[in-house]
Structure 1
Amino acid sequence: MGLVQPTQNAYIERINGSFRRELLDAYLFRSLAHVRQLVDQWRHEYNTQRPHQALNFMTPLELKQAA
Protein backbone atom coordinates (compact mmCIF):
# COMPACT_ATOMS: atom_id res chain seq x y z
CA MET A 1 0.00 0.00 0.00
CA GLY A 2 1.50 3.31 -1.10
CA LEU A 3 1.62 6.54 0.78
CA VAL A 4 -1.00 9.19 0.13
CA GLN A 5 0.45 12.23 -1.62
CA PRO A 6 -0.36 15.63 -0.07
CA THR A 7 -2.39 16.63 -3.14
CA GLN A 8 -4.54 13.50 -2.78
CA ASN A 9 -5.58 14.38 0.77
CA ALA A 10 -7.96 17.13 -0.39
CA TYR A 11 -9.79 14.66 -2.66
CA ILE A 12 -9.99 12.08 0.11
CA GLU A 13 -11.35 14.64 2.57
CA ARG A 14 -13.88 15.84 -0.02
CA ILE A 15 -15.33 12.37 -0.62
CA ASN A 16 -15.31 11.59 3.09
CA GLY A 17 -17.25 14.79 3.82
CA SER A 18 -19.75 14.15 1.03
CA PHE A 19 -20.24 10.57 2.17
CA ARG A 20 -20.76 11.64 5.77
CA ARG A 21 -23.21 14.48 4.99
CA GLU A 22 -25.19 12.79 2.24
CA LEU A 23 -25.41 9.30 3.67
CA LEU A 24 -24.23 8.70 7.21
CA ASP A 25 -25.78 11.85 8.72
CA ALA A 26 -28.92 11.65 6.58
CA TYR A 27 -30.29 8.22 7.47
CA LEU A 28 -31.18 6.04 10.41
CA PHE A 29 -30.18 2.58 9.30
CA ARG A 30 -32.45 -0.38 10.02
CA SER A 31 -29.89 -3.11 9.40
CA LEU A 32 -26.53 -3.85 7.85
CA ALA A 33 -28.33 -4.84 4.65
CA HIS A 34 -29.98 -1.40 4.59
CA VAL A 35 -26.58 0.29 4.99
CA ARG A 36 -25.15 -1.77 2.13
CA GLN A 37 -28.09 -0.93 -0.13
CA LEU A 38 -27.81 2.81 0.50
CA VAL A 39 -24.02 2.80 0.15
CA ASP A 40 -24.29 1.01 -3.20
CA GLN A 41 -26.87 3.55 -4.42
CA TRP A 42 -24.76 6.49 -3.24
CA ARG A 43 -21.57 5.11 -4.79
CA HIS A 44 -23.32 4.45 -8.12
CA GLU A 45 -24.68 8.02 -8.24
CA TYR A 46 -21.34 9.52 -7.16
CA ASN A 47 -19.40 7.67 -9.87
CA THR A 48 -21.85 7.71 -12.77
CA GLN A 49 -24.21 10.66 -12.44
CA ARG A 50 -22.49 13.44 -10.52
CA PRO A 51 -19.97 15.67 -12.32
CA HIS A 52 -16.87 16.52 -10.31
CA GLN A 53 -15.15 19.88 -10.51
CA ALA A 54 -11.75 18.23 -10.03
CA LEU A 55 -12.47 16.08 -13.12
CA ASN A 56 -13.30 19.06 -15.32
CA PHE A 57 -17.00 18.60 -14.57
CA MET A 58 -17.10 15.01 -15.79
CA THR A 59 -18.23 11.98 -13.83
CA PRO A 60 -15.56 9.43 -12.90
CA LEU A 61 -17.17 7.05 -15.40
CA GLU A 62 -16.96 9.64 -18.20
CA LEU A 63 -13.30 10.28 -17.34
CA LYS A 64 -12.54 6.56 -17.45
CA GLN A 65 -14.31 6.16 -20.79
CA ALA A 66 -12.45 9.15 -22.26
CA ALA A 67 -9.05 7.67 -21.39
Structure 2
Amino acid sequence: MAVNAVAGRGVSIALAYRAFEISETCYRYNPVLSDENEEAADWLERLTADKRNWGFGLCFLHLCNLQGFSWNQKRVYRIYC
Protein backbone atom coordinates (compact mmCIF):
# COMPACT_ATOMS: atom_id res chain seq x y z
CA MET A 1 0.00 0.00 0.00
CA ALA A 2 1.15 3.53 -0.66
CA VAL A 3 1.02 4.43 3.04
CA ASN A 4 3.64 1.76 3.79
CA ALA A 5 5.87 3.29 1.14
CA VAL A 6 5.94 6.67 2.89
CA ALA A 7 6.03 5.35 6.46
CA GLY A 8 9.70 4.42 6.06
CA ARG A 9 10.48 7.99 5.02
CA GLY A 10 9.39 9.54 8.30
CA VAL A 11 6.00 10.80 7.11
CA SER A 12 3.19 10.49 9.62
CA ILE A 13 0.35 8.10 8.86
CA ALA A 14 -2.18 10.93 9.22
CA LEU A 15 -0.38 12.95 6.53
CA ALA A 16 -0.27 9.91 4.27
CA TYR A 17 -4.05 9.42 4.71
CA ARG A 18 -4.63 12.93 3.47
CA ALA A 19 -2.03 12.72 0.68
CA PHE A 20 -3.44 9.49 -0.76
CA GLU A 21 -7.05 10.34 0.12
CA ILE A 22 -7.72 7.13 2.05
CA SER A 23 -9.30 6.56 5.43
CA GLU A 24 -7.61 5.12 8.49
CA THR A 25 -10.04 2.21 8.30
CA CYS A 26 -8.77 1.38 4.82
CA TYR A 27 -5.18 1.36 6.06
CA ARG A 28 -5.90 -0.79 9.11
CA TYR A 29 -8.26 -3.25 7.35
CA ASN A 30 -7.27 -6.90 7.70
CA PRO A 31 -8.97 -9.05 5.07
CA VAL A 32 -10.62 -12.29 6.12
CA LEU A 33 -8.77 -15.40 5.06
CA SER A 34 -10.00 -16.82 1.79
CA ASP A 35 -9.96 -20.29 3.39
CA GLU A 36 -12.88 -19.24 5.56
CA ASN A 37 -14.72 -17.89 2.52
CA GLU A 38 -14.15 -21.19 0.70
CA GLU A 39 -15.45 -23.11 3.71
CA ALA A 40 -18.59 -20.96 3.80
CA ALA A 41 -19.08 -21.44 0.06
CA ASP A 42 -18.71 -25.21 0.42
CA TRP A 43 -21.30 -25.32 3.20
CA LEU A 44 -23.69 -23.13 1.23
CA GLU A 45 -23.34 -25.29 -1.88
CA ARG A 46 -24.11 -28.43 0.10
CA LEU A 47 -27.06 -26.86 1.88
CA THR A 48 -28.62 -25.44 -1.26
CA ALA A 49 -28.18 -28.77 -3.06
CA ASP A 50 -29.79 -30.74 -0.21
CA LYS A 51 -32.46 -28.21 0.80
CA ARG A 52 -33.61 -26.67 -2.46
CA ASN A 53 -36.54 -24.87 -0.84
CA TRP A 54 -34.33 -23.07 1.70
CA GLY A 55 -33.42 -19.47 1.05
CA PHE A 56 -30.48 -17.56 2.43
CA GLY A 57 -32.12 -16.94 5.80
CA LEU A 58 -32.60 -20.61 6.64
CA CYS A 59 -29.14 -21.51 5.36
CA PHE A 60 -27.55 -18.80 7.49
CA LEU A 61 -29.50 -19.82 10.59
CA HIS A 62 -28.50 -23.44 10.07
CA LEU A 63 -24.81 -22.52 9.76
CA CYS A 64 -24.84 -20.29 12.85
CA ASN A 65 -27.21 -22.11 15.19
CA LEU A 66 -26.70 -25.77 14.32
CA GLN A 67 -23.18 -25.80 12.93
CA GLY A 68 -21.83 -23.15 15.35
CA PHE A 69 -20.14 -20.84 12.85
CA SER A 70 -19.84 -17.19 13.88
CA TRP A 71 -19.62 -15.72 10.40
CA ASN A 72 -20.89 -12.25 9.62
CA GLN A 73 -24.29 -12.28 7.89
CA LYS A 74 -23.30 -9.76 5.20
CA ARG A 75 -20.18 -11.72 4.36
CA VAL A 76 -22.06 -14.99 4.04
CA TYR A 77 -24.75 -13.28 1.95
CA ARG A 78 -22.12 -11.98 -0.51
CA ILE A 79 -20.79 -15.53 -0.84
CA TYR A 80 -24.34 -16.87 -1.19
CA CYS A 81 -25.09 -14.47 -4.06
Into which bin does the TM-score normalised by the smaller protein fall? 0.3 to 0.5
Larger RCO (CA within 8 A; separation ≥ 6): 2
TM-score of the superposed pair, with normalisation by structure 2: 0.36
TM-score of the superposed pair, with normalisation by structure 1: 0.41
